[in-house]
Amino acid sequence: MSDSAGQTRDKASREATDWLILLQDDPEDRALRDRFEQWLNADSLNRAAWDATARAAQMMAVAPAVHAARWRPAVVTPSRPRYARTVRAASRFRSGARSRLHRRIAAATGAVAVAVCLVLLAAPDIPMRMRADIVTATAEVRSVALEDGTTVTLGPESAISVRYDPDGRQVDLLAGEAYFDVVSDPGRPFRVAAGTVRARVLGTRFDVWRGEEGTAVSVAEGRVRVENPAAAPPVSVILTKGRAARLDGRGAVRRFAVAPDQVASWRDGRLIAQDEPVEDVIDRLRPYHDGVILVAGSALADRTVTGVYNLDDPMSALSGIARAHGAAVRRITPWIVLVSGF
């Protein structure tokens, strides 16, 4: 995509955000509605930008308002009542439509308030924290030694619980990503559980990542048996050095090669993606960003990306991924980032 085309898309995105606020500020202004319709119909990029902005506002507007005591002081109280309705599908905005816009636009103030509440950190899941033995924060990478000498390195926003007994050793990856350097003990197998996925080893070095849509296991040394007994049919694969597999919740398995020295490259501040879904790559970036990253539209999320990205600068990495697919990256608030493909 040329710089000129990218600037045009960014301009449309900024204008769409401005329209969202203007229409909410004065929903009964017929002249304003007419100007909005003219802008909307002037260019297909405008309509696409509006669609993306409306979807983002909808995602924020329907989110639960948590930690209100922390975010409310940062929100300016309006001088008159604001309409707080969920954004309807943006495709319904057509020339000549006579329905009231305030029934189609979520209150910008409400959306921003919820956004701030989400970012101010929609605190980590409390039940998960109660189960976890070790938890990391945003952008935090931590290595810990277990009682048998095994080393576990946790990625940001990750959590594990540990259970050792005479017959075996088990670590539950409750969230995020972890790299394991396991001390061999044939009499006490080492197992890692990530949801319904199980990895079993005797002595090896490997990485496990748990995302919303699946789990990935990559092996730097040794052998790992990866299983999902809950899949139909049940899944069982053996991975050796330089091999990896991604398992989704439906039981599908994608195997691929990975350079052993690139396994868990995040420990060195690099994210290496090899023909991975954009959704998964953005999931891996989220723990390094102190805020919320929203992706508007499944078409973008389902595309694939290959590249090496700097985890010390997640916004630049996000912009690089977006540029590769003709998408736009916008800050809705200082804490909310929207990636929209249109």
* Percent of the chain's residues with pLDDT above 70: 73
Q: Beta partners for 248?
A: 214
Amino acid at 224: V
CB neighbourhood size of 273 (10 A): 18
Decide which of 99, 123, 147 is a domain's last residue. 123
The CATH number of residue 286's host domain is 3.55.50.30
Q: What average pLDDT does range 314-342 have in this prediction?
A: 84
List CB contacts of 207: < 8 A, sequence separation 6 or more. 177, 178, 179, 180, 216, 217, 218, 220, 263, 264
The verdict on 213 and 262 lying in the same domain is yes
Q: Name the range with the highest mean pLDDT among 61-70, 206-215, 289-298.
A: 206-215
- What pLDDT, on a 0 to 100 scale, did the predictor assign at position 220? 97
In this structure, the answer to whether residues 49 and 24 fall within a common structural domain is yes
What separation in angstroms does the CA of 194 have from each of 239, 264, 270? 16, 17, 23
Q: Is the pLDDT of residue 176 over 80?
A: yes
Residue 247, both tokens: 């398992």
Check if the beta carbon of residue 222 is closer than 8 Å to that of residue 205.
Answer: yes
- pLDDT at residue 126, rounded to an integer: 59
pLDDT of 26: 65
Contact criterion met (CB below 8 Å) for 270 and 314:
no
**Of residues 177 and 49, which shows the higher confidence score?**
177
Kindly state whether residues 157 and 233 are assigned to the same domain. Answer: yes
262 and 133 within one domain:
yes
- Asked if 325 and 300 touch (Cβ cutoff 8 Å), the reply is yes
Of 47-61, 68-82, 201-215, minimum mean pLDDT range? 68-82
**Which has the higher per-residue pLDDT, 231 or 161?**
161
1 & 78 share domain: yes
How much is the pLDDT for 96? 30
Q: Is the pLDDT of residue 257 over 90?
A: yes
pLDDT (0 to 100) of residue 137: 92
The mean predicted confidence, pLDDT, of the chain is 77
Same domain, 110 and 130: no
pLDDT band at 68 (very low <50, low <70, confident <90, very high): very low
Mean pLDDT of 98-110: 32
| Mean pLDDT in residue range 7-15 | 76
Residues 21 and 108 in one domain: yes
For 31-38, what is the mean pLDDT? 85
Same domain flag for 28 and 108: yes
pLDDT at 189: 93
Same-domain status, 227 and 113: no
Of 53 and 168, more confident:
168
pLDDT class for 57, splitting at 50, 70, 90? low
CA distance linking residue 65 with residue 113, whole number of Å: 8
CA 278, 284, 289, 291 dihedral sign is positive
Last-in-domain residue among 123, 142, 167: 123
35 vs 172: which has the higher pLDDT: 172
Do 144 and 236 share a domain, yes or no?
yes
Total of domains in the chain = 3
Beta carbons within 10 angstroms of residue 18's beta carbon: 12
Domain that holds residue 110: 1-123
Full 3-state SS string of the chain: CCHHHHHHHHHHHHHHHHHHHHHHHCCCCHHHHHHHHHHHHHCHHHHHHHHHHHHHHHHHHCCCCCCHHHHHHHCCCCCCCCCCCCCCCHHHCCCCCCCCHHHCCCCHHHHHHHHHHHHCCCCCCHHHHHHCCEECCCCCCEEEECCCCCEEEECCCCEEEEEEECCEEEEEEEEEEEEEECCCCCCCCEEEEECCEEEEECCCEEEEEECCCEEEEEEEECEEEEEECCCCCCEEEEEECCEEEEEECCCCEEEEECCHHHCCHHHHCEEEEEEEEHHHHHHHHHHHCCCEEEEECHHHHCCEEEEEEECCCHHHHHHHHHHHCCEEEEECCCCEEEEEEC
What is the pLDDT at residue 326? 82
262 and 286 co-located in one domain:
no
**End position of a domain, from candidates 227, 246, 267:** 267
Q: Are residues 136 and 258 in the same domain?
A: yes
Percentage of residues in the chain having pLDDT higher than 90: 40
Q: pLDDT tens digit string along 276-301?
A: 888 889 999 999 998 888 887 667 77
| For range 305-312, the mean pLDDT | 92
Q: Which residues, 6+ apart, have CB-to-CB distance to 307 below 8 Å?
A: 272, 273, 320, 321, 324
Instruction: Write the CATH number for 177.
Output: 2.60.120.1440
**Spatial CB neighbours of 159, under 8 Å, sequence gap ≥ 6:** 124, 128, 129, 131, 132, 134, 135, 136, 173, 174, 175, 176
